[in-house]
Structure 1
């Protein structure tokens, strides 16, 4: 394998790692954050960041596919190539679905949201799996160790997954330092009076 082909393989891997292994998960996290936000401005900013990250991910993955088609043997005899081919089709379908987003309040909005969410998760998960398969294929063809890159990818994805799960529990965690409302209410239901009034009432009773 020539140095030129090795360089192209590394660029192909870098494009797909950046796309499926970073930008797509970040886009999913941004969408999750926007659903939890209560500020209209924050929701808009997070939404546009989500769109930008996903467009960049699609473009990078397309660049990786172009490198593969122009420079590598594409007999589609291995799982990495076959999965990648199917992935590119669904990857371009996702932004089209996002573009035809129904307005809020329309009945099909819930169905659209479920389809958009499910397809996005499936594309991201399949893409990440294919990156792992690609690293293994690279090791088989070059006999070079990929343990470091596999470990770094796993570490990065673990951090992103942890952050994704943390978003759901963050507000709940912040509330743990506050006393429940029930504890803030007085337990004594008896009426309280100023000191002077209590003394006067005592004198009257005597």
Structure 2
């Protein structure tokens, strides 16, 4: 009996300890599960926020260097292909449009650069980040050059114009190229397809290039149907009339020669007969 009581007390103590242990295990499993889910939710929130920041950064830089700056270049080119009658008025309108668009583009590029500096890992180990950094510097240099415009008629004006034109064209081409690299970087970061955005951006660039070439030649195209003061007026009607006059001249001259010879010989025969009779 004494041995049985010992066994009983051992079994009871084991069951009591197991009973005390099982709830603790159960509670610990319940507590660990929400911690794991919260960690995953935090990670998902970070990924979604990062993807959102990348999308906002891309939209701002596309609107700045991929759209507004090239359109501003088109406006300033249109002012130089205008007619002489409205040259001054159109020059002022297109100049102010060019300036406003470039200022808005610089502000959008600044906002995009602030987002990239604060929220992204800027290791500058890829083409997009390196070109973007160089593009930021070129944009602000171009702003300074634009506001330091000298007056017309000075030697500094020629140097300013060449540098402003080269810098502006370079910024426009670099911005378009960096938009493509940005779309590729977005695809690599988020694994989302960017084929549709690439096609739409290519169509936009192609349309702007066509419009640039078309307005470059528009003044020349209009002059094709206008007769200038120094150019001789020639038409198909005049050419045909000249050909007809030449034909008439060629046909009438032999007739005149034959009639003159005929009258000469007829007169000489008449004189010979008269001399013979006498």
State TM-score, norm by structure 2. 0.64
Tell me whether 170-179 or 78-87 shows the greater mean CA deviation.
Answer: 170-179
Tell me whether 119-128 or 171-180 shows the greater mean CA deviation.
Answer: 171-180
Q: CA deviation at 1:178?
A: 3.9
In structure 2, what is the Cα distance between the partners aligned to 1:76 and 1:178?
A: 57
Q: Residues 81 and 29 (structure 1 numbering): CA distance in 2 closer, same or farther, change over 3 Å?
A: same
Q: In the alignment, which residue of structure 2 is the partner of 1:108?
A: 156
| Residues 34-61 of structure 1: CA deviation (Å, up to 9, x unaligned) | 1222321111111000000001111111
Which consecutive residues of structure 1, in runs of 5 or more, have no partner in the other structure? Answer: 189-206
Q: In the alignment, which residue of structure 1 is the partner of 2:190?
A: 142
Q: CA deviation at 1:184?
A: 6.2
| Residues 115-160 of structure 1: CA deviation (Å, up to 9, x unaligned) | 0000000011111111101111111122211111011011001111
Q: In the alignment, which residue of structure 2 is the partner of 1:3?
A: 48
Q: In the alignment, which residue of structure 2 is the partner of 1:182?
A: 232
Higher Cα radius of gyration: 2
Q: In the alignment, which residue of structure 1 is the partner of 2:62?
A: 17
Which consecutive residues of structure 2, in runs of 5 or more, have no partner in the other structure? Answer: 1-45, 242-278
Task: Give the structure with the larger helix fraction.
Answer: 2
Q: In the alignment, which residue of structure 2 is the partner of 1:33?
A: 78
Q: CA deviation at 1:177?
A: 3.3
Could you list the runs of 4 or more consecutive aligned residues of structure 1 that deviate by over 3 angstroms after TM superposition? 177-181, 184-188
In structure 1, what is the Cα distance between the partners aligned to 2:216 and 2:120?
A: 43
Give me the CA root mean square deviation: 2.0
Q: In the alignment, which residue of structure 2 is the partner of 1:79?
A: 127
The size of the alignment, in residue pairs, is: 189
Q: In the alignment, which residue of structure 1 is the partner of 2:138?
A: 90
Q: CA deviation at 1:27?
A: 0.6
Q: CA deviation at 1:179?
A: 5.3
Of 212, 230, 234 in structure 2, the residue corresponding to residue 164 of structure 1 is: 212
In structure 2, what is the Cα distance between the partners aligned to 1:159 and 1:148?
A: 17
Give secondary structure in 1 for the equivalent of 2:233: helix
State TM-score, norm by structure 1. 0.86
Give secondary structure in 1 for the equivalent of 2:172: helix
Whether contact under 8 Å (2:106, 2:139) holds in the other structure is yes
Q: CA deviation at 1:176?
A: 2.8
Larger RCO (alpha carbons 8 Å, 6+ apart): 1
Determine if the alignment matches structure 1 residue 63 to structure 2 residue 111.
yes
